[in-house]
Amino acid sequence: MKKIILASASPRRKELLEKIGLQFTVDPSGCAEDASAGLEPHELVRRISIDKANAVAGKYTDAVIIAADTIGVIEDKILGKPHTAKEAVKMLRAISGKPHLVITGFTVLDTATHRRVTHTVDTKVYIKPLSTAEIEAYVQTGEPLDKAGAYAIQGRGAVIVEKIEGDFYNVMGLPLAALAETLKEFGIDVWDNNNSV
As annotated, the active-site residues are 69
Separation CA 96–CA 136 (nearest Å): 13
CB 120 within 8 A of CB 173: no
Angle between helices 85-95 and 132-140 (to 10 degrees): 140
Neighbour-count burial of 69, counting CB atoms closer than 10 A to its CB (0-12 exposed, 13-18 middle, 19+ buried): buried
Helix (H, G, I), strand (E, B), or coil: what is residue 185?
coil
Which pairing describes strands 63-74 and 77-79: parallel, antiparallel, or unpaired? antiparallel
Nearest Cα to Cα of residue 43 among 148, 102, 146, 118? 118
Pairing of strands 99-110, 116-127: antiparallel
DSSP 8: -
Alpha carbon distance 74, 124 (integer Å) = 10
